[in-house]
Structure 1
Amino acid sequence: MAVEQNSLIENYSIVIVNVAVAVIHYQDQYLLGFRAASQHQGNRYEFVGGKIDAHETATQALIREVSEETGIDIANNIAVKLGRLHHDYGDKRVCLQVYRIEVTAQQYQQYKNLSQGLEGQKLTWVEKQKLLAGDYDLPAANKTILAWLQLPTQISITYPLEHFNNASNPMTVWVQYHQEHLQIGALVYIRIKETGTEESINQLLHLRNDIKAIIPYNFYTEKADNTVINRQIVARHLTQAQLMQCSNGIAKNDIPDFIIASSLPLVVSCHDKESIDAANQLAKACLKHQLAPVIGIFLAPVEYTQTHPDTSPLGWEAWSRLAELADIPVIGLGGLSPVMSDQAMLHGGVAVAGIRQFFK
């Protein structure tokens, strides 16, 4: 996989440093280093990684840096692309190319007591729950990675309301069906287009307080009297059409008020290069202005789907080429099943999503 040169010149003056970042873990144990006080962004924890040399790809740099810093050989481990982060520290601009790498049980047993790296830096394994809770102070550019790590490998999508049109009260049956059939602890994209259904969404979340939800961006306002339900809602969703409507303004740093006002991360839908470019622009703008991040792209359709029978599927190879363009974690959608999550990762994604195959 080709990557940019280690140092590029932007506007003839600003140097951008490309860095490979390895989010190394074994199950829910994650490996962090600690930066010395004398270093840039010192006295903070960080994921393992370093500069990408001019002759290297990002994955080659990962293998070299992890070996040099920890002694762990990840040449045969799968590197799952999470995304790219473009961050301006004021005195330095960096592009972090971030990959998640799970070590084997044998590797973890060998290195689980590792407390000092080969370059003298402190190393520690930390629990994912504590990492995501912010117990470990990370550089600003790393904090979006924590939001990315909250995405599971499988995401359920609700049936459209029209699927229950034969019922005397479709909305009641919609709630009942999803209450009974959603997997325990699932992350669910509540894809419902009809207005006036917010109360039914709230009802489903109340009945299934074990699930987390992605909701349409204009279907919910954060309310103090809905504290429990607020905790279940982890992101808002923009369709491709909504994303493209925002794109001209975003290019001029005119970010829509609903994005500025919300503390919830965004998930967007994309189907082509143009929309992925728009999603990348939005992600950069959110990072620049310290807004809630864009944490995922639904890229579809991979395969033929009954939901959109007239849409030609991309196929895995074309899907993979589009996924490589994204600066954000990519989720496969369209004719997929939960067992295809590994296939998505091999093609540049982090997860799969769907309707029919994702219910018990």
Structure 2
Amino acid sequence: MSSKANKNRESQKAIVNVAVAVIHHKDQYLLGFRDAAQHQGNRYEFVGGKIDNNESGEQAVIREVAEETGIAIQDNTIVKLGRLHHDYGDKQVSLQVYKIELTTAQYEQHKHCQYGLEGQALVWVNKRDLLTEQYPLPAANKTILEWLSVPTTIAITYPLTHFKTHSDPRSAWLQYHQENLASKSWVYMRVKDAMSEDIVGRLMRQRPDISVIVSHDADYSFLMSKDLVVENKHTSEQIVAHHLTHTTLMQWFDSIQDSSASTQLISHTHPLFVSCHDAASINAANHLASTRLQQQLPPVIGAFLSPILMTQTHPHAEPLGWETWSSLAQLADMPIIGLGGLSPAMIDQALTYGGISVAGIRQFY
């Protein structure tokens, strides 16, 4: 056997498949602490462990949580966040990550437990402290923290054409969104206008509380001008992610089939959201997510998968329906956001079918 074949075989042997449980009750999250003698020791970690050959990731996470904490989660809603591969040099891990919210009764029963059933220290931490890395985690977990930053609802702006009957559509667009966006909401700026950057920037300055997702190819460099930084030093920080349309995603994927093209034309500065409609686009999104992790770029933190139901804006688009949507969501290596005919009140249904968030226009203002 060649040395290359031996190397590939050893690489395969070194991969450890792990199920990870992100357990929480509201904004309190459960972490264990790794002993100094363990791999990636002296760090906190989410509950979890190796997936046995005869079990699925979900079966493994139920078993590991019971063995490590005594918490029975088989009747809780278990939502797949995504899958990650990380190379530590001395070990490669493939993580299947699940999010589980405990009931109040479960939390009250276990919130005072300082040690797990295997003797490891346990601690409940506030989500804000977790996301700001007050509790150091293994390197592979950094993407999980990015995933957890995504809220359960995301508003999408109306296109400018929605205000075409007004004498000044741009001013009408700006006034409507300034007055009607919920406080501290995440907003996907889908204006559908080639010269929209200025009104998006004005909305951001007028609503410094919102977090913004913008098109990956939009030019918002003007937000860094000295005058605007003085006026509102946080404006540029409001952009939390860039977005790739389904068309752009598939163009990127097609390009890498024919050459050694990289993600050079796709933002290297921010995490990404992508839009998917089918198994082919989810496959492309998975490749993009893997590529960015390998290149140590900000990760893909969510995929808008649509349409679930019939919508007024796309009346001719065939809706997926909840069952098909759920099957597609299971293929994704990143969190899935439901889109298409939904309202914020449908978040529990989305969670049940495998999503982590819902997004939309009409019902989200």
TM-score normalised to structure 1 length = 0.93
Q: 1:331 aligns with which of 331, 337, 340?
A: 337
* Counterpart in the other structure of 2:263: 256
Indicate the SS of the match to 2:17. strand
Q: Answer yes or no: is the 8 Å Cα contact 1:243–1:275 preserved in 2.
A: yes
* Counterpart in the other structure of 2:280: 274
Counterpart Cα distance in 2 of 1:260 and 1:344: 29
Between 1:343-352 and 1:218-227, the stretch displaced more is: 218-227
Counterpart Cα distance in 2 of 1:221 and 1:180: 23
Counterpart Cα distance in 2 of 1:98 and 1:196: 40
Deviation at 1:154, TM superposition (A): 1.0
Q: Answer yes or no: is the 8 Å Cα contact 1:240–1:268 preserved in 2.
A: yes
**RMSD of aligned residue pairs (Cα, Å):** 1.7
Q: Answer yes or no: is the 8 Å Cα contact 2:279–2:328 preserved in 1.
A: yes
Q: Answer yes or no: is the 8 Å Cα contact 1:266–1:292 preserved in 2.
A: yes
* Counterpart in the other structure of 1:6: none
Counterpart Cα distance in 1 of 2:224 and 2:165: 37
Counterpart amino acid of residue 105 in structure 1: T
Q: 2:297 aligns with which of 279, 291, 301?
A: 291
Q: 2:359 aligns with which of 350, 353, 360?
A: 353
Deviation at 1:134, TM superposition (A): 1.2
- Which blocks of at least 5 consecutive residues in structure 1 are unaligned? 1-8
Counterpart amino acid of residue 138 in structure 2: P
Matches within 5 A, 1:39-58: 39-58=38-57
* Counterpart in the other structure of 1:150: 149
Say if 1:114 and 1:181 are closer, same or farther in 2 by CA, change over 3 A: same
- Which blocks of at least 5 consecutive residues in structure 2 are unaligned? 1-5
Deviation at 1:257, TM superposition (A): 2.4
Deviation at 1:249, TM superposition (A): 4.5
* Counterpart in the other structure of 2:29: 30
* Counterpart in the other structure of 1:243: 249
Indicate the SS of the match to 1:65. helix
Q: Answer yes or no: is the 8 Å Cα contact 2:24–2:30 preserved in 1.
A: yes
* 2:190 is the alignment partner of 1:184: no
Q: Answer yes or no: is the 8 Å Cα contact 2:116–2:122 preserved in 1.
A: yes
Counterpart Cα distance in 2 of 1:193 and 1:134: 36
Counterpart amino acid of residue 256 in structure 1: T
Q: Answer yes or no: is the 8 Å Cα contact 1:88–1:288 preserved in 2.
A: no
Counterpart Cα distance in 1 of 2:114 and 2:295: 36
* 2:17 is the alignment partner of 1:18: yes
Counterpart amino acid of residue 259 in structure 1: I
Identity of aligned residues (%): 57
* 2:216 is the alignment partner of 1:210: no
Counterpart Cα distance in 1 of 2:7 and 2:213: 37
Q: Answer yes or no: is the 8 Å Cα contact 1:250–1:281 preserved in 2.
A: no
Q: Answer yes or no: is the 8 Å Cα contact 2:216–2:267 preserved in 1.
A: no
Counterpart Cα distance in 1 of 2:256 and 2:145: 24
Between 1:50-59 and 1:87-96, the stretch displaced more is: 87-96
Between 1:271-280 and 1:246-255, the stretch displaced more is: 246-255
Counterpart amino acid of residue 255 in structure 1: S
Indicate the SS of the match to 1:130. helix
Say if 1:249 and 1:92 are closer, same or farther in 2 by CA, change over 3 A: farther
Indicate the SS of the match to 2:330. helix
Between 1:71-80 and 1:138-147, the stretch displaced more is: 71-80
Deviation at 1:11, TM superposition (A): 4.7
Deviation at 1:219, TM superposition (A): 1.4
Counterpart amino acid of residue 357 in structure 2: A
Counterpart amino acid of residue 24 in structure 2: H
Counterpart Cα distance in 2 of 1:358 and 1:310: 22
Q: 1:318 aligns with which of 313, 324, 331?
A: 324
Counterpart amino acid of residue 26 in structure 1: H
Indicate the SS of the match to 2:304. strand
Q: Answer yes or no: is the 8 Å Cα contact 1:249–1:256 preserved in 2.
A: no
Counterpart Cα distance in 2 of 1:191 and 1:53: 44
Deviation at 1:253, TM superposition (A): 5.9
Q: Answer yes or no: is the 8 Å Cα contact 2:82–2:333 preserved in 1.
A: yes
Deviation at 1:332, TM superposition (A): 0.7
* Counterpart in the other structure of 2:76: 77
Counterpart Cα distance in 2 of 1:58 and 1:133: 28
* Counterpart in the other structure of 1:127: 126
Counterpart Cα distance in 2 of 1:250 and 1:187: 31
Counterpart Cα distance in 2 of 1:90 and 1:274: 32
Say if 1:354 and 1:87 are closer, same or farther in 2 by CA, change over 3 A: same
* Counterpart in the other structure of 1:62: 61
Matches within 5 A, 1:211-230: 211-222=210-221, 224-225=224-225, 226=229, 227-230=233-236
